[in-house]
Amino acid sequence: MSIFFWRNALIFGILLILPLAGCSGGSPDRPAATEKATFDPVHEANEIMGLEREWSRRYQAKDVDWIMKLYTDESRQFPPDAEPVVGLKAIHAAWEKMAHTKGLQIIWEPVEAHVSETGDLAYDFGTVVTFSPAGRRTDGKYLVTWVRRDGDWKVGVAMYSQNVSPPK
């Protein structure tokens, strides 16, 4: 092979490698493993735990307007033994119904929260105690996924279920 072939191959290889030389391995949306995250995951997890506690408190106070600030148009709720609830209008109606059902009491407490490496997704889970209008207690659990929107945590999907089916 001629010297021209090797020279051109070397130039071509350099041209391929040069654009990659400045890469740190990350992207604008996700930092490289060697870069320090610009957020504190422990702080963010604690923020989510605080949001859950405030959400439960606001539900007890029947403050559905505050609760709705946690949701986006893409939010979903998956209640037990029911169809999914999709979108702000349907979610608002569901919370209004729950908050104003005489004798219905729902209390939840977060147990743990985790935030993604990118800081834009998180989830938490915890316990739920429900007292029916007839006074029957049901223990359960919940899972909420969170998404970061304009600097605030918003509910992506919320689902909850009973630990054991109530007696019939």
All domains in the chain, ordered by first residue: 41-162 (3.10.450.50)
How much is the mean pLDDT over the chain? 83
Q: What confidence tens digit (pLDDT) does each residue in 76-134 have?
A: 999 988 999 999 999 999 999 999 999 999 999 999 999 999 999 999 999 999 999 99
Residues 16-49 pLDDT 10s: 333 333 333 443 444 444 444 467 999 999 999 9
Task: Give the pair of three-digit tokens for residue 68.
Answer: 């709705």
Tokens of 78: 């998956």
> What pLDDT was estimated at residue 166?
58
Query: What is the CA angle 64-70-76, rounded to 5?
Result: 95
Task: Tell me the two tokens of residue 67.
Answer: 């609760």
Burial class (CB within 10 angstroms; exposed 0-12, middle 13-18, buried 19+) of 144: buried
Least confident range from 42-51, 60-69, 158-167: namely 158-167
The pTM assigned to this predicted structure is 0.74
CA 76, CA 144: separation in Å to the nearest integer? 10
Predicted confidence at residue 82, as pLDDT, reads: 92
Token digits of residue 125:
């889970």
Q: What share of the chain is helix, strand, coil (3-state, %, to 5)?
A: 35, 35, 35
The whole-number pLDDT of residue 30 equals: 44
